[in-house]
Amino acid sequence: MLALVYTAPGEKALLERPKPQIAAATDAIVKMTRTTICGTDLHILKGDVPSCQPGRILGHEGVGIVESVGAAVGRFRTGDHVLVSCVTSCARCHYCRQQMFSHCENGGWILGNTIDGTQAEFVRIPHADSSLYPAYDGADEESLAMLSDILPTGLECGVLNGKVQPGGIVAIVGAGPVGLAALLTAQFFTPALLIAVDLDENRLNAAMRLGATAAINSNDSHALESLMKMTGGRGVDTAIEAVGVPATFDLCQKIIAPGGTIANVGVHGKKVDLHLENLWDRNISITTRLVDTATMPMLLNLLRAGRIDPKRLITHRYAFADALAAYDTFSQAASTHALKVMLEF
Ligand SMILES: NC(=O)c1ccc[n+]([C@@H]2O[C@H](COP(=O)([O-])OP(=O)(O)OC[C@H]3O[C@@H](n4cnc5c(N)ncnc54)[C@H](O)[C@@H]3O)[C@@H](O)[C@H]2O)c1
Ligand SMILES: [Zn+2]
Ligand SMILES: [Zn+2]
């Protein structure tokens, strides 16, 4: 089968690989029909994710058809149309029993990381009963693929952890696919102000199209001042950090109102200063989270009912055989204006 393989730091290739086989009774083999590329895949290629070693097939998102199942799989059969969660969950361990699937002692984020992923014609899914979701009849595959990772990430790590409330004031710092997914799902709670912050005008325009009430370019020397003015000098009730660099977490610390919540979503590779000298008396909370995909049933209900349209995040489409071109487009977002890039098999 054809697979996108991380071959060496900075390098990838489309290679012929053996088709995966059932290795445990709880496994399923899924024939992929759609997959997509995540910013995390780019981090892996840069060598930022040491758990993922060269030789690995990348990808932790997508949709497919069950090809075969192990003897202990009860919920799925050959031919079932399924959504792959980016998080593998055994449903039994200490953390899974608390719905903290990202910390599953027998899974977690392993796909396209410590085991081969979804950017291939076939993928082996461990603990298939609790790591796959049935696609409802007539489901749109491209929309479904947005639920593998970015929608639950924006919702769980950003919106729910950030306690977005009706009438509240929310800033989303970083309008990449994850920040925009937070923007879409924040609207479930009808905040009064939904302010997008980014350096990239194109992404700010995308944020305005997707429901932001204001956009602020953080390159502008008056960015902080305009944001404070917009909020009557109080700052924001929820600051969602969706970039993962010190500057953006720092901005969140500057704009948070008394009683507010900073919800960190970004993956940080460098240390960040915590300004307790300014924040100790402000009654704020800071949250961190690795996406659990615990909201998948809720998101599937909303998608099925037509209450969300995550397909609006897709800007480019490629055949899987052109995956290298798709990576080029995705990694040069500033010039290509790419958000999510869909790969079709
Ligand atoms: N916590 C989790 O479980 C989880 C899951 C998935 C992704 N992530 C992380 O979420 C973050 C966002 O992911 P993404 O795919 O949207 O990334 P992305 O790189 O596509 O988007 C980041 C955005 O931040 C903007 N940006 C960069 N520096 C900025 C600055 N100084 N001020 C304002 N904006 C700035 C960029 O222009 C870009 O639009 C990443 O760190 C990713 O690794 C976390
Ligand atoms: Zn991802
Ligand atoms: Zn578990």
Ligand 1 contact, 243 CB (< 6 A): yes
Q: Going by CA atoms, what residue is nearest to atom 38 of ligand 1?
A: 176
Q: For residue range 58-101, what is the model confidence (pLDDT) as tens digits?
A: 999 999 999 999 999 999 999 999 999 999 999 999 999 999 99
Range of the domain at 227: 152-288
Residues 248-268, mean pLDDT to the nearest whole number:
97
Single residue among 243, 264, 288 that ends a domain in this structure: 288
Atom of ligand 1 nearest to the CA of 264: 1
So what's the pLDDT on residue 146? 98
CA angle (154, 113, 145) in 5-degree steps: 45
Ligand nearest the Cα of residue 313 is 1
Residues 308-337, mean pLDDT to the nearest whole number:
97
CA–CA gap between residue 38 and residue 98 (Å, rounded): 27
Confidence of residue 47 (pLDDT cuts 50, 70, 90): confident
So what's the pLDDT on residue 232? 96
Q: Going by CA atoms, what residue is nearest to atom 18 of ligand 1?
A: 176
30 and 105 assigned to the same domain? yes
**Do 264 and 157 contact (CB within 8 A), yes or no?**
yes
44 and 120 assigned to the same domain? yes
CA–CA gap between residue 130 and residue 297 (Å, rounded): 12
190 and 179 assigned to the same domain? yes
Ligand nearest the Cα of residue 36 is 2
Residues 197-218, mean pLDDT to the nearest whole number:
97
Residues 306-330, mean pLDDT to the nearest whole number:
97
Single residue among 260, 288, 316 that ends a domain in this structure: 288
pTM exceeds cut of 0.75: yes
Q: Is 340's pLDDT higher than 90?
A: yes
160 and 90 assigned to the same domain? no
267 and 159 assigned to the same domain? yes
Ligand 1 contact, 119 CB (< 6 A): no
Please report the DSSP string for 120-160 in residue order. Answer: BSEEEETTHHHHEEEPPTT--HHHHHTTTTHHHIIIIIIII
Q: What is the distance in A from the centroid of ligand 1 to the CA of 224?
A: 19
Confidence of residue 269 (pLDDT cuts 50, 70, 90): confident
So what's the pLDDT on residue 311? 96
127 and 8 assigned to the same domain? yes
76 and 96 assigned to the same domain? yes
Ligand 1 contact, 86 CB (< 6 A): no
Identify which of 243, 267, 288, 331 to mutate to test ligand 1's pocket (most ligand atoms within 8 A of the CB). 243
Copy the structure tokens of residue 75: 């919920």
CATH of the domain at 160: 3.40.50.720
Please report the DSSP string for 233-268 in residue order. Answer: TS-EEEEEE-S-SHHHHHHHHHHEEEEEEEEE-SPP
Q: What is the mean pLDDT of the chain?
A: 97
Single residue among 269, 288, 307 that ends a domain in this structure: 288
Ligand 1 contact, 334 CB (< 6 A): no
In percent, the amount of the chain with pLDDT more than 90 equals 97
138 and 156 assigned to the same domain? no
So what's the pLDDT on residue 48? 83
Q: What is the distance in A from the centroid of ligand 3 to the CA of 126?
A: 11
Least confident residue range of 44-58, 160-174, 314-328: 44-58
260 and 298 assigned to the same domain? no
199 and 271 assigned to the same domain? yes
Q: What is the distance in A from the centroid of ligand 2 to the CA of 314?
A: 15
Q: Is 182's pLDDT higher than 90?
A: yes
So what's the pLDDT on residue 36? 98
Residues 143-155, mean pLDDT to the nearest whole number:
98
So what's the pLDDT on residue 3? 98
DSSP character at residue 190: -
Number of domains in the chain: 2
Ligand 1 contact, 195 CB (< 6 A): no
